Structure 1
C-alpha cells in the first residue's frame, strides 16, 4: 500500500459501552451513511474477537494496527470493524474502528453519522513528489510509508493555555532548528503567543508550516480518538485535541522516512518544554527560553565527546621527541624515499640534527618562526624535522604562490631565516635566506647541543590559510596537537612500520602535516611525490604500484581522477587505507572504485577537519551502503576531540538540527598569529565546561549515534579542489585596484555538481577604464593561482538586497574569461577549424572547448580560460581515448597556449 494511499484516509476509534448489539450497530451505520455513500445498504460491519488472554497493551496494539490499516484503492470509502473481547461476555465493552476516505468526516456526538468535510478541509494532501524534505529529520528513506507517533508531553499551565500557545511553541522550536520563519527573540513570550492567537482561529487546520510540519487542532469527544491521517502526507503532523474540560493534549504523527524516531521524540519534547516556559513566564524575552532541558543538553554534549585513546602522557610530547623514539627503535628501516634518495631513520635523524645545529649557528633562538620554501623532496622533510629539533616552528610556503604573498607570509610570521633554494624567495635585508645544504654544512661544524627538554605546548608549525580581510592568517599549532592526532588514529587505522605513505600535498596545505608525521611517527616509509608526478594521474598510479603504497591521502577531487586511471590501468595497487580530506566527499563518485576493490580489503575513510583543529576532527568508514544512501556523514569525533553543533548565539542545538560545528579537545590550535581579536572571536571558552572550543564556520548536524553530518559553510568560505578559500579575500584584492569601486565574488561551476569545473567568478564596478585582463594580472600578483578568478564581469552597479548586501542570486551570468591578446592573423576556433585542412587542430580545439565550456581559438591560453589541474587530467585522458599521442601534464603546463600545444602533439605524432 502506497504512502499516498494511506495519507488519503483517516480513522476514528470509538469505545462502545456494553452490551453491544452488532445488528443494531450495523443499522446505525447504514442510517448514518444514507445520503453520503452511494450504496449505504451495502455497508458491512466486520467483527473480530480478540485473542484470549491478551493483556491491555496487546489489545491497544491490535486496535492501533486496525486504525492504521488504509482502505484498498478502488474499494468502498468506509470500513467498520468491531473488536470484541475473547471472554464472550455480552455486557463487555467493545471497540469500533472506522476508517474512511478523507472526504468523509468522522466524529461528533454520534460518530456513526457521516458528513462531507466542510470547505475542502478533508481533501488529500500533496503527493509524495511534493513533500517537503526535513533536513533535520534524519529519516530512513527505506522506511518510507511507515508511520509513527509520539505524545507531546505538555504539563503545568501549558495544558490549559490554549492551542495558540502550541502554535507559538512549534514556530519557535522550528526557528531554533533553523527551519520555518525567523523569530525576533527580543520580543516577549506574551507578544509572540498573542501573534499566533491572531493567526489561528478555533477549528483551524494549518496544513503546513514552512518546514513541512503541519498543525491540526480538533475538538475532542470523550471515548473517541481520531487519527487525521493514516500516514502523514507531510513529514510531520502535530495533532492537538481540545478537551471539554478546557485542557489540550497533542500527538506528533510522523513518517519514519522523514523523521528518525529519536528525533521525533525530542522534537515533541522540545515543543512541550518551550510551551511550559512560554506559559510560565509570559513577560520573559524569547531569547531566555531554552530549547533543551539541562539534562538533554548534557546528553547531547556527551554524544560529541570521544575519550582519548591513550593516557595523557602519550600526547604530552613533541613531534621531534616522538620521532627520536622511532629512530632509536628502527634506525636501519627506510624512513624516506624521494626519487633516487633513500634515507633510513638514522640518516634522516642525523641530517635533521645538522639542520638544527645550522639554525643555532645562525643564532635562531628556540621559539622562533623559520620559513621553509622548498619543493617536495627529501630536503623538505629533513628541514621541517630540523626546525623542530632546534625548538623552532616551521612556516611552510608554497612556491606556486606569487612573490607578494610569500613576502607577506615571511613578514607576518616574523621569520628572520627562510630555508629555500637559491633565488626562490625574493629577499629583503631583514630576512636571511639559506639553502638546506648550506644550513647542514653550518651545522656540521657545530658541537653537539645538550638535550633540550620537551615542551609539548610550544608551536610546531604555522600554516597560513585564506583570510576574509584580504590577507592570509597564520594558524599556530602546538606539538601536543600533532602528538594527539597520531595517538588518536594509530590503533583504529592500524598504523605500523609496515606501511608505506605518500607525501602528495604541498607543505603549505595542512594535509601534509598528517602525511609526514602520521607516517614517520608510526615507523612507516614516506614516499615523496614530486610536483609533476602529483599532477599526472598515470604517473602517480604507476608510483603507487611500484612503491607498494598502503596508505594514501587524497582530496575527493584528486581521487576522482585516480579512480578513472585505475579503471584502465593494468598495474595492481596495494592500498589498504585511503583517507579523504580537504573538501566534502560525494560518495557517488566511488561506485567504479568499489566495483574493482573490496571495501574489506581497502578501507576508505572520510574525515572532516580544519587547520585550526589540527588537520582531522572526525572519521567515517565509507562502504557501498553509504553510496546507496548518498549520505554526508563524516563520523564521530576522533579520540580526544569533541564536537557540538550550536546556533548563532552559541546555544547547543539538539540532534538533527543544523548549526555551526564547534570543535574542542586535543586538536584545538593555540591562536591566529598576531591577531588577538580574531583569536578571541573564533577560539572561545565553552560556557558548558568543555574548555576552549573553535567556532569552525562550518555547518553540520549531529546524529543520534554522535556522528556528524557536514553540510557546507555558513559564511563566504568555499572549498575548491581541496583549497580553503575566503571569497572576501579575493574581493578585497580586487578592491585594492585603484579603478575598482565595488566587487563581489561567487563560486560557480561550468557543469553543476562537477568539482573539476569549479571556478571563482568575480563582478566589479569601475570608476575608470580598466579591462578584465588588467584586473586579473593585478589579482595574480597577490593571490595563488587557485584563488584567481576565472571570470571578471563588469557591471554598472552590484545588485543589493534590502539589507544592503550583495544579492548574489541576482548577479547575471558571468562574462567570458579574459583572453590573451591575439597574434597577427585570423585565429582558428573550435567551430571554424577546417578538418580537411587541419583535422588535428580541429580535434584538439574541440576537446579544449568542451572541457573549458568556451569557444577556444589557437591563441587562447588553457589556464586563462579557467583551466585547472583536474581539467588538464581530463583533457589528456580524452585525448588518449581518441587515439591521440600520449603527452604529460608537464607538457600541457609548459605549452598552455592552444597553438603551441597543437604543434607539440603534431610533433609527438610524427
Structure 2
C-alpha cells in the first residue's frame, strides 16, 4: 500500500488543518478570461485568488498528476489574506486540472463543489451556499502530539502521510454506523484503558458546528449485538476543542464522510485535524474507499497503515456476521486475519545463533572446554585469592566428590548460602559437576525464609559456613572446607556424573503473591543459549574482566558468573561491603581494569556521580543494565566522560523465568536525549510478543502483556503445578511453549520492545522483584494484626533512591507497630521489609472493595521500641556536630530525625547511605565506610562515631568547619 507524503511546516500546521481543496479534471478547460468572468458573477474575484500554471507533461504523466496534487495540498498563506485560491494547471495536451483551495469556514464543502461546477460550465451556485466573510474557527487545529501507541518520530513533524483502506460489497454492506463501531473496537484494543472517542468533522458546516464527537460505551464482555445496538446514533457536540495545538490530545481519531466522485479529488484538510484523520467515501455500490491522513511526528506510518487495515477488516467482519453472531462477546472480534497476527509474532522472534557441535551441552561441560584451551588464564579473584581456570576446575572437582560423599545424589537440589568470594564460585561449579542443581540463598536472609526455601526445593544438603545456616530437620549443612577434605579422601575422584542440557542447573526463588517466594527451575541449555546469544554481539572474550556485583540469589549473578566464565573472561568477585560503598567500588573497577560491568540503574547512578569526581580512569567498555526500568536521560553525564565509541551501554529486559535477559538495546546519546524506553529486540533464540487478556496478538503500538518464548523459557515453578500451568502456556499462534510475564509492554514497528512496568501489583525497587501481596501476607501472619496493605511510594522528584514500601496495619489491643515491623524483619529479606508501618482503625476501601490508596494517610515511621535501642551514648545535644548530622539525615530521609532514631527504621537504604556519607565527607569529617555506617545506624551512634573520627584526626586541618564540634 503506497503512502503519499507532503511536508507542512510547523508554523503552517494550524492553517493547513482548517483548509480543504477540490481538484477537477477538465478535458476542455475554460480560458482564463472565462474563469474571471464566471468568478465575477459569484462575487469571488479578488486579487491573488486566480492563478494559472503550465506543466511540461501530458495530463496522463505521473509528474503532471503530482503537480496538481501539490497545488491541492498547498494551504492558504494566512488567515488575513484571501480565503480562496483557484489554480488552473494546464498540461501540454490541452487538458487541465482546476484546483480550488479554501478555508472550510469560509467556503464549506458543498459551496466549494458548487463553485467548481460553475467554473467548469455548470449552473450558477444557489445563494446562501457560501460566503467569504466568515473567520476560521480554528477548531480544526492539528495537534503536535499523538497517542502513546502512535510511536511517531518528532524529527518528522510536519511530514504528512496517507494510508488507503477499503471495504468490499457483500450481502450485508458496511454503513457509517458500522464503520464508526469498527473504529471504536480497534481503538479499544490499542488503548484498553481509554474509552473510545471518535470525532466527526463535517466540511459542510462552519464554526463549532463542524465538529462533533462520539463517546462509545465499551465493555468486551457485552455482546456484539448489544454494542452495535447502543452504538453511535447521533454525535454529541464536541464541547471543548477536540485537539489543542501543541498540547494534550483529547481525541485520537476523526472521521470525514463523503460520496465518491471519479471526476473529483477532495481533500477535507491539508494537514491532519486529528492524529488519525480518516476520510471515507461511499461508492455507488455501497462499498467504501478511504484515506487516512496522519502526521509522522504523531503516528508511525506502519502503525497508520495497520490501523486502517484493521478498521476495514473489523467493519467487514461485523457486516458479514449479521444476525448469526448476536450472542458473541466483543472480545471475540478479531482485529486482523490469523496470518497477519502470526506475522507480528514472527517479527518478534530472533533466530538462534548456530553453535558448533564440539561445544559442551552443559554449563560445566562448556567450562571444561575452556579449561582445556586456556588452563593457566586467570579465572576468578576476590581480592584475597586468585584461581586460574585449571585451579578452579580442580577445586570444583574435589568439592563435587565431597558433595557425593555428603549425600548429594545426581539430579537433586543442593543449597548454597555463602558470602561472595571465590569459594562461592567454586561451590556453584562443583554442584553442577556433581550432577545436581544449585539453590542459592543470601546469607542476610532471615532464618525462616531460608527454612522455607530448602523445604520448597527439596534440598537435603546445604553448603554454608559454620553457624550461618539454621538447623533444619533432615537437611545436612556442610562447609566448603569440609567438602574439599572429603573430596581429597575420595577413591572415585574424576568420575563423570551423567547430566545433559535438559537437567536443571539452578533454582532461584523470587517474590510470590501468596506470601511465599516461588522457585524457578532453569535447565543448563537456557544458560548456554544466553551466552551464545550475546557473546558475538557484545564481543565477549578472554580479554574481558567482569565483576560479580550481585547476590547469587539474584538472577543477575547467573549472567555475571557464567557470561564471564563461559567466554574465557576473568571474574572479580566484589565483597558485600564494597558493593555498598560507591567510592570503594569505583576504585576497585579502576584498579582491576574491569571491562564488563552489570548494574541496575539504581546502583549505576551513584557510580556516575562518583566517576565525575574521581581522578581514576576506568577501562569499562560495556555496561549492561537490567533488573528495573532505565530512564535513559540519566545516562547523559556518563556519555560526557565516556564516549559511545569507547563504552557501549546496553539496556536489557529480562525475567528470572526466562533466564535473566530477553532483549537488548544499545543506548545512544541521541536515545538518552529522547528518553527512549526501548529495551530492544529479542536476543537470538528468544521471542517476544504483546498480547491481550485472552492471549490474542495485539497490533504494533498497542500496550498489553509481554509473552516470552524461545530458548530462555524455564522448566517450571518448583512444586507449584497450578501456577506453572497458568504462567507457562502453549501459544495458540505458534504451538510453542511460552511464558506469560505479567509485564506490560508494546512492540515498536522495528521489532523492538518497550517495557512499561507491571500489569499486576508486582514492583521493582532498586532492582529487586517484589510482590506487595507477599509482604501483606507476612504482616497478616503477625500476632494481633487483623488487616494490612502495602503500597509503593515513589518520590515526586523521580529519585529512585527514595522509593520505599509503606505498610498499613489494623492492630488489636496490646500490639505495636514496632512489634509488627520486627515480625516482618524476621521473615523477609531487608529489601522487602517496609520502610514504614502505620496503624489504622480500618483499611479504607473503594466501592468495589479494593484498597482506596488515595484515602491512606501519610505514613508514620516504625520507630524501634526502647528495648531495641543500644546502650546510651552521649550525643552532646547542643553542639553543632549533632545539628549537622541530624539535618543531613532528615533531608535525605525526608522526615524529622531525632538522636534516638534508626536510619533504616525510617526508610533508609543502601543508596541513601552513600549519599549521606558523601555529604558528611563534604563537611570535613574523616572518611567513614559503609560498613561503619551499618554498624552505627542509630543517629546518636553515628554522631558519636563521627566525633571520635574527628578527634583522632584533630591534628589534620579541616576543609570546612561545618563538621567540627
TM-score by length of 2: 0.88
Quick check: 2:103–2:136 contact (8 Å CA) kept in 1? no
Q: Are 2:135 and 1:94 equivalent residues in the alignment?
A: no
Contact 2:21 2:73 survives alignment (8 Å):
no
Map residues 149-298 of structure 1 onto 2, 5 A cutoff: 149-157=162-170, 160-179=173-192, 180-181=194-195, 183-200=218-235, 212-218=252-258, 223-242=263-282, 246-282=286-322, 283-284=324-325, 285=328, 286-298=330-342
Indicate conservation of the 8 Å contact 2:18/2:140, yes or no: no
Q: What's the counterpart of residue 558 of structure 1?
A: 603
**Match of residue 583, structure 1, among 620, 624, 628:** 628
SS in 1 for 2:110: coil
In the TM superposition, 1:387-402 aligns within 5 A as 387-402=431-446
How many residue pairs align between the two structures?
893
Distance apart, 1:83 and its partner CA: 3.4
> Structure 1 residue 207: deviation in Å?
5.3
Equivalent position SS for 2:495: coil
1:69 matched to 2:74? The reply is yes
Q: Decide which of 721, 737, 757 is 1:676's aligned counterpart.
A: 721
8 Å CA contact retained: 2:76, 2:101: no
Contact 1:337 1:528 (C-alpha < 8 Å) held by counterparts: yes
Give matches, 1:347-496, under 5 Å. 347-447=391-491, 448-496=493-541
Check if 1:886 corresponds to 2:927: yes
Is structure 2 residue 658 aligned with structure 1 residue 613? yes
Tell me, in whole angstroms, the C-alpha distance in 2 between the residues paired with 1:768 and 1:25. 95
In structure 2, runs of 5+ residues without a counterpart are: 1-8, 117-124, 196-216, 244-248, 952-965
Partner SS, residue 590 of structure 2: helix
Partner secondary structure for residue 428 of structure 2: helix
Measured against aligned partners, the alpha-carbon deviations of 1:276-296 in whole angstroms (never above 9, x if no partner) come to 100001232233321122331
Label 1:662 to 1:260 Cα distance change in 2 as closer, same or farther (>3 A). same
Distance 1:178-1:903 versus aligned 2 partners, 3 A rule: same
- The answer (yes or no) to whether the contact 1:473–1:673 under 8 Å persists in 2 is yes
Paired with 1:61 and 1:767, the residues of 2 have a C-alpha distance of 80
Does the 8 Å CA contact 2:105/2:137 hold for their aligned counterparts? yes
1:345 is aligned to 2:354: no
Separation in 2 of the partners of 1:853 and 1:45?
A: 70
2:707 match: secondary structure: strand
- The answer to whether the 8 A contact 1:5-1:73 is kept is no
**Change in CA separation of 1:27 and 1:796 when aligned onto 2, cut-off 3 Å:** farther
Deviation at 1:833, TM superposition (A): 10
**1:25 counterpart = 2:38:** no
Shift of residue 7 of structure 1?
Answer: 5.0
2:959 corresponding residue in structure 1: none
Q: For the Cα contact (< 8 Å) 1:102–1:124, is it kept in 2?
A: no
Residues 624 and 649, structure 2, Cα contact 8 Å, conserved in 1: yes
Secondary structure class of the residue paired with 1:110: helix
The equivalent residue for 1:840 is 881
1:647 maps onto 2:660 in alignment: no
CA contact (8 A) 1:316 1:480 kept: no
Q: Relative to 1, partners in 2 of residues 1:58 and 1:740: Cα closer, same or farther, differing over 3 Å?
A: farther
2:65 and 2:413 map into 1 onto residues whose CA distance is: 72
Give the superposition deviation at 1:787.
0.9
d(CA) in 1 for partners of 2:133, 2:797: 46
Output the CA distance in 2 between the equivalents of 1:577 and 1:442.
41
Q: Contact 2:142–2:274 at 8 Å: present in 1 too?
A: no
2:254/2:278 contact within 8 Å kept:
yes
Post-superposition CA distance 1:829-868 (Å, at most 9, x none)? xxx998xx42222122111111111011111111111110
Which residue is equivalent to 1:906? Answer: 947
SS in 1 for 2:520: strand
- Of stretches 586-595 and 726-735 in structure 1, the one that deviates more from structure 2 is 726-735
How far the C-alpha of 1:771 sits from its partner, in A, is 2.7
Give the 3 Å change call, closer, same or farther, for CA 197–322 of structure 1 in structure 2: same
The residue that corresponds to 1:5 in the other structure is 14
Contact 2:64 2:91 in 1 (8 A): no
CA spacing shift, 1:685–1:3, aligned 2, 3 Å: farther
The SS at the match of 2:607 is: helix
TM-score normalised to the size of structure 1? 0.93
Q: Which residue does the alignment assign to 2:647?
A: 602
* Counterparts of 1:687 and 1:623, CA distance in 2: 37
Secondary structure at 1:841 match in 2? helix
Question: Residue 202 of structure 1: CA displacement?
Answer: 13
Matching residue of 2:23: 14
**Distance in 1 between the 2:349 and 2:828 partners?**
38
Report what 1:530 is aligned to: 575
1:708 matches 2:753: yes
- Measure the CA separation in 2 of the matches of 1:292 and 1:154: 14
Q: Distance in 2 between matches of 1:517 and 1:385?
A: 10
Q: 1:861 aligned to 898, 902, 905, which one?
A: 902
Question: Using the alignment, how far apart are the partners of 2:514 and 2:279 within structure 1?
Answer: 50
Q: Is the 8 A contact 1:388 1:394 kept in 2?
A: yes
Partner Cα separation in structure 1 for residue 819 and residue 868 of structure 2: 21
- CA distance in structure 1 between the aligned counterparts of 2:734 and 2:285, rounded to whole angstroms: 45
Shift of 1:226: 3.5
RMSD of the alignment, in Å?
A: 2.9
Q: For 1:452-851, list aligned pairs within 5 A.
A: 452-808=497-853, 810-821=854-865, 837-851=878-892
SS of 1:698's equivalent? Answer: strand
Residue number among 937, 940, 954 corresponding to 1:896 in the alignment: 937
- When residues 796 and 655 of structure 1 are mapped into structure 2, their CA distance, relative to the original with a 3 A threshold, is same
Contact 1:203 1:218 in 2 (8 A): no
Deviation at 1:239, TM superposition (A): 2.4
Q: Which residue of 2 aligns with 1:37?
A: none
Offset, 1:657: 1.3
- Compared with structure 1, are the counterparts of its residues 766 and 204 closer, same or farther at alpha carbon in structure 2 (3 Å cutoff)? closer
Distance 1:80 1:700 in 2: 48
Instruction: Give 1:774 shift.
Output: 1.9
Secondary structure at the aligned position of 2:114 is classed as coil
CA distance in 2, matches of 1:202, 1:528: 67
Aligned partner of 1:317 in structure 2 is: 361
Shift of 1:70: 2.7
Q: 1:207 to 1:163 in 2, by over 3 A?
A: farther
Using the TM superposition, name which of 440-449 and 607-616 deviates more: 440-449
Q: Which residue of 1 aligns with 2:352?
A: 308
Determine whether 1:110 maps to 2:114: yes
Higher mean displacement: 455-464 or 752-761: 752-761
CA spacing shift, 1:692–1:824, aligned 2, 3 Å: closer
State which of 45, 53, 75 in structure 2 corresponds to 1:48: 53
Post-superposition offset of 1:584: 0.8
Measure the CA separation in 1 of the matches of 2:40 and 2:399.
98
Query: CA 1:444–1:819 in 2, change beyond 3 Å: closer, same or farther?
Result: same
Report matched runs for 1:324-339 at 5 Å. 324-339=368-383
